[in-house]
Each structure stands twice: as C-alpha cells, then as structure tokens.
Structure 1
Amino acid sequence: MTAAKATGKWERDTMTGTGTAAATAPPTVEERWGQFFRWGPYGLLGLATLIGAGAADLLMTRPEMYAAGALILAALALQLWWGRAGRDLPEQAVPGRVYYVLRALLGFALSWLNPFFSIYAVLGYFDVSALLPRRAARAGLLATAVTMAGSQSGGLPPPSTMSWLAFGGLFVLNASLCLVFAHLGTQEDEKNEGRAATIVELERTNARLEQALAENAGLHAQAAAPATSR
C-alpha cells in the first residue's frame, strides 16, 4: 500500500472508528505507515531542529541561524497545509507533486545551512512513488540523494577536493541504493497487482459457474416435474 492510500485509510479508520476490533486489534502495517506519513514529518523536522540547534554554534553564522529559523517555519507551514490538503487525494495529484518539490527544496536549503537537517530531507525517499509519476520519482530520489550525500560528506558545498570526492562517492552510493530498491519495489507492486487481478478474475469465474449450476439445476427440476406428475 502506498503513502496516499495508507494515510487515507488510517485517517478514515481513526475518524470513524471502523469496527469494534479497531480499538483492541494491533495496528496493521498499512496503518503504521499511515501514522508515519501523517506524523513522521513533524517528528523528523523537530529532531533535525533539536540536533541542528545543538551544533549551530559550530556550523552556522548568526545570519544563517535566522535563515534556518525562517525555513523551519516555512517547512512547518507546508506540512500543516499538506495535512489538510492531502486528505483523500488520488496518488500523484498535482498538490502532492507541489508538496514534494517544495519539501525537497526546503530540505536541501536547510541541509545547506546545517547538514543535520538531512534528517528531515530523508523523507524524500519514503513517499516519492505516491506523490510523483514514475519518471519524476526517479528525479526526486536523485535530488534527495544529492542532499543526503552532501550532508554525509560534511556539508554543502564541499569545502575541499577530498570533500568533493567523498560527496561524489556518497552520491553514487545513495543514488544506486535508492534506485535499486525503488525498482524492486515497483516489481513487487506489479506482482501484487497481478495477483489481485487474478483473484478478482477467479471470483468472477466462480460466480458465473455458480450461476450456471443454479440455472442447470432449475432446468433439471423443470424437466423432472412432468415425469413426477405422471
């Protein structure tokens, strides 16, 4: 189940209290993903802000701190907007694409000022397939890999030749891993869709067979009725 579907299902179940077992049964994987997509961005932004603030005196100038504060508020406002606008939207809708791009830009800018904000930028790996079309999703993954590699190599822009080499190697590693896992995930989704389609077709076939058997039994009863009356 993708991000949009998981979030929508979890929110509907939470609001409606679907089923008496909802209050006692442990949450499913889809429900846990829904909770993460709903609250995870707030948690990661808060964690990045906490750690980044602790290292701010070592990594940032006073103007950069003010700029980071403004970007944090912008990221929070974006997330609050998406929490309302993103409900019950179809996958890869235009508002979702706008949300992903703006969040990626904010994550990159914050990570440029303080590499610990890559904790927030890593969100770009998780919901890209639900928010962006397939080709754009690859670009989103690569953009996130740039931010992550820059942070892992000591911050952007790399200050030395060795840092540039480290950035290049880490970017290749991040990009390769995320593209490989995205490809495997796509294959698994296609298999699941194929299995679901097969199950639906089998159910239709069984329904038609039951209908044919019922009609055949009715015809047999009609044919046997005159013989019984004699």
Structure 2
Amino acid sequence: METAAGRAQSSSHRPSFIGPQPPVQQPAPVKGLPMQGPSLPSAGQRARSMPAINGRGTEAFAHGAGQVARAAAKCDKCDGPHLTDVCPHFRKPRDEHKDAWVNLGAKRPQSMGADSGNYVIRNAKTVRQPGDGSCLFHSLCYGMSRYGICRVGRYEADALRREIAMFIKDNPHLEISGDTLEEWIRWDSNTTSTNYAKRMAVGGWGGGIEMA
C-alpha cells in the first residue's frame, strides 16, 4: 500500500516532459504610443542621481575622498600633516635671492660646489637614528660627540634643536655670506626670524640655516 509520503517522494523523482511551447503573442501597437519602452539612464546620470550615505551624491563622496587624501598627506615644505599647496607656513612663493641678480649676465656666474670635484668616501659606516624628523640634529650630536661636545640621544638632539633656535632668535642681524640671518630666513621660509625660531624649537626639518 503506497502512502502519501511515498507518492510525494516518487513524484519528485519522476521526469517531467515539456512539449512545444506556443509562440509568445506580442501586444498589438496602440495608436499614439511609442513601440519602445522607457530609456534607461546612462551611467553618468545614475552616478549623479545616486544618493550617498549623507544624501549628497557623488559630490559628497568626492569631498570625503579629498578629506582622506589631505589627512594622509605630508607637506614637503614643513613636514606638516597637510598638502604642500595649502601649507599655512609657506603661503607665498619663494622670492628670487639677490645672488641671482648678481649672476645675471655674468660670464662666469658664481655657484656653490661647481668646482668642488667628485669625492668618494672609502672609510665610513652607517649610524642609525630615530625617524622623528630631527635627522640633522641627531647627526650634529653624533659628530660633536666624537669631540666630547655633545652626547648622542633623543634628549640631546632636542636640546640642541632648542639651543640653535634660541641662537637664531637672538641673532637676526648676524651676517652670513653677505646676508643677515633674518634675510636668509625671509628668503628661505618667508617669515620672520622670531616666528621661524619658535617653530624650529618644537619640530621641523633643519637645513642650511641651522648649520650656518
């Protein structure tokens, strides 16, 4: 005797035969209506009308992506966390140094390092230092430590940074290679020697001004 469950199980394995299907009847055109359906929007139209999380579409998405790029950027001028083009410390383009006018039209223009030759260092070693943006001051501490002037370490590098910044602040009229220290700072950083020293005492890459 076949039960209902057995009939259901046997019917599930029974092959099904599908005969020829009748052709699909297309609806007759109605006078005054177009034959084609509504046109789909293009990819650009869909992107412009696509709502974002905050409801402002792709413009908000682009704005958010720009914020992420700015947050991950590092300035090439001051090493700050912003794009180089929007640096708050170096807003104006650098002026031409007066030495450029001295060399204008000169047959033998003056230049630093033009005839210094090529040197190959044969006896040297690599000295590691922390990546804290104070590579110049770590290097100076290491060089002076060999003469007993300074010790090597994070504290010593920070102390040397503050000491040099204080010297720059207190000696703006010190002449170096024909220009005062404040003139070099104005050309290099487009700021005053006081503001430059205040910023350099806290952080930032050192360069020719600090070494001079």
Fold match by TM threshold 0.5: no
Structure label with greater radius of gyration: 2
Richer in helix (by share): 1
**TM-score normalised by structure 1 residue count:** 0.23
